[in-house]
Amino acid sequence: MTLLIGAWTLGLILSLLALGVFISFRIFDFPDITTEGSITLGAALTATLLVHGTDPVLATAAGFCGGALAGATTGVLHTKFKIHGLLSGILVMTALYSINLHIMGKSNVPLLSEVTLATHAEQVGTSVMPVREAIRRLEQAGLAEREPHKGAVVKGLTLAELVHVYGVRRLLEGEAARLGSQRITGEDCERMRAEYELMLAAIEERRVVDYLDHDEDFLATLYAASGNPVLVDMIRTLWQHCRAYKMVGAHGTLDATWADSLWHYQNDLLAAVCENDGDAALAVSNASLDNATQRIRALLAAQMNGD
């Protein structure tokens, strides 16, 4: 099936070349073979722009314009310089061999090594359009950015930016914890307790990703009780920004002497919440984020120094 799909794909691509020859020769009675060079010109332009991080739609449009310019050159040679149509096409086609090599800078520009939208679509089993829309939304949210030769990549944070993110988290999550603890129901307290037990089990089994998931569900239950969905959405966005660094911090803490910091703040927070003590919940939230900031700063600084 893969071989059949590949053959169909190649056939459809070359059908454009055949269509160009057919239109010029049969409809306009013009023996033009410019298409043999113009189709590779368009491919060279598109491929070169793609590996330099250009949007696929713009790269394809540039390739289209390049092919049109090659055809227009043949027309000018024939109509203005009175060169025979067949010879005009041969001249342009021959010149395009050198032009294409100059554009690419080498004989071949491989796209198989590039992470493209089609690659992502094949991995998740969906079409290209939903993937393009998903990447666009990630870029709008500041979670992804485009880099030359790579395309869309996850946006990283510098150490200074990470510290600022945790500073904002401290302000928002402290307020959410204070409000949520004052309004939380007994059912939500039990849900938080269940997430806390699952979090302890994940730590015991060294499942860091599961630990972070349960920790976020634990906190999300409390923050949702604040009754402010905008505040909760902002906090979740900040969680996404520093998710990778939270994983680094959690991995490093598992084997450290202060490993209890992974759960004792949540235990204290749970106790304050069940007592509907907003001030205590605020103090625990601030202490937890202050501790996390110090740990992540130390771990990332050690990595930057090669320790």
> Which tens digit of pLDDT belongs to each residue from 60-86?
899 999 999 999 999 999 999 999 888
Of 104, 139, 174, the position where a domain reaches its end is 104
**Same domain (yes/no): 169, 90:** no
| Structural domains of the chain, count | 3
pLDDT, tens only, 120-154: 555 555 555 555 565 566 555 555 566 665 555 55
Q: Are 60 and 98 in a shared domain?
A: yes
**What range defines the domain where residue 85 resides?**
2-104
Q: Is residue 109 part of a domain?
A: no
For residue 27, tell me if it sits in a domain.
yes
Buried b (16+ CB within 10 A) or exposed e, 45-69: bbbbbbbebbebeebbebbeebbee
Of 2-16, 150-164, 166-180, 265-279, give the lowest mean pLDDT range: 150-164
Find, among 207, 33, 42, the residue nearest to 109 by Cα.
42
Write out the H or E segment, with its range, that includes residue 216.
helix 208-224
What is the average pLDDT value for the chain, to the nearest integer? 82
pLDDT band at 253 (very low <50, low <70, confident <90, very high): confident
Residue 8 lies in a domain: yes
189: closest CA among 276, 260, 265, 281? 276
The reported pLDDT for the residue numbered 173 is 95
Q: Among residues of the chain, what percentage have pLDDT more than 90?
A: 38
